[in-house]
Amino acid sequence: MSIPREYGPILDAVRGLTWPARRRVSGVHTGAHLSRLRGRAPELSEYRLYRQGDDPRQLDWKLLARSDRAFIRLSDDRAVHPTWFVVDASASMAFPLPGHTKWRMACGLAIGLAAVAQRAGDPVGAAIVAGAGTARVRARTRADVLVELGSALGGVVPSGAAALAPALLHVPERARLVIISDLLGDEPALRRAAAGRGSTGGDVHVLHVVSRDELDPPPSLALALDPEDASIERPFDAGARAVYRERFAEWRDEVARGWRLAGATYRQVQAEHDPALEVRAVAMSAAGRG
């Protein structure tokens, strides 16, 4: 079994890309991310005056001989950063018809970012939350985790309405959490559930997927129907269209503000864009901060 052919261009485009953690990670396994721990890595980072209790083996004897002062060598350790993807597979992601562009973008983002993380040696896991249930991919560093992730994404049909917040319970607190969703479900609960991770060393990325047809509904739209709530029916005349754009923009701004205040990295992704470019943008924005 191999990764579905449709993800080939994305994987090629993100080859060589790094996605460093936003802050020092607390992992103990050697990895690609700066660790909180200072250890005996060959790469020297700084000197510090020797204090009682320090390991004498870290003393820089040559500097002591030159300066007659005791300094210890400090170097940054690197550790792995488990990366978990929570992918929204509710009915609202199956839009617009017939191509389900939002879902395809979500899958591309998950595969692309998972490939970047896996190549850096990070364990990658996923929870794909649909109305029928949650498909989980156990976090592993092996290369076939991408195959399993691709298979899991391909086996899910976006449908129903399911809450994403409970899926966070299975994600380790200090892992890098990537939420790929249109945030039309339980966004407030999800934000609350994700808010505490920042303080505990976690890293939260929110990729808000929106469609061009949601930003600017086509003129032929006369009556809009919510795929997750049949009671929501809205006629679309000229006046309603203007009100819709205004309200939707306000909501998006409010959501972005809320996630940023919660300590997450928020990014709005338009579904019609190139997934590879979006993956690159996510990784490089993290690198810029790092």
Q: Which residues of this protein are in contact with other proteins, per CB under 8 A?
A: 91-93, 95-98, 182, 184, 213-214, 217, 220-230, 232-236, 239-241, 243-244, 247-248, 251
Q: How many helices (H) and strands (E) does the chain have?
A: 8, 10
Closer to other proteins by Cβ: residue 148 or 214? 214
Calpha distance 149→85 (Å, rounded): 10
**Measured from the CB of residue 143, what is the shortest distance to other proteins in angstroms?**
35
Closer to other proteins by Cβ: residue 63 or 157? 157
Partners of 41 in beta bridges: none
**Measured from the CB of residue 241, what is the shortest distance to other proteins in angstroms?**
8
Calpha distance 263→195 (Å, rounded): 7
DSSP assigned state of 20: -
Closer to other proteins by Cβ: residue 60 or 226? 226
Q: Indicate the Cα dihedral angle 140, 145, 151, 153, nearest 10°.
A: 60
**Measured from the CB of residue 86, what is the shortest distance to other proteins in angstroms?**
18
**Measured from the CB of residue 114, what is the shortest distance to other proteins in angstroms?**
25
Tokens of 154: 């391909």
Look at residues 232, 284, 109 and name the one whose alpha carbon lies nearest to residue 182.
109
**Measured from the CB of residue 185, what is the shortest distance to other proteins in angstroms?**
10
Closer to other proteins by Cβ: residue 35 or 211? 211
Closer to other proteins by Cβ: residue 49 or 230? 230
**Contact at 8 Å (CB) between 217 and 241?**
yes
**Measured from the CB of residue 36, what is the shortest distance to other proteins in angstroms?**
41
**C-alpha distances in Å from residue 110, one per residue of 126, 209, 218, 248:** 9, 12, 29, 25
Closer to other proteins by Cβ: residue 109 or 113? 109
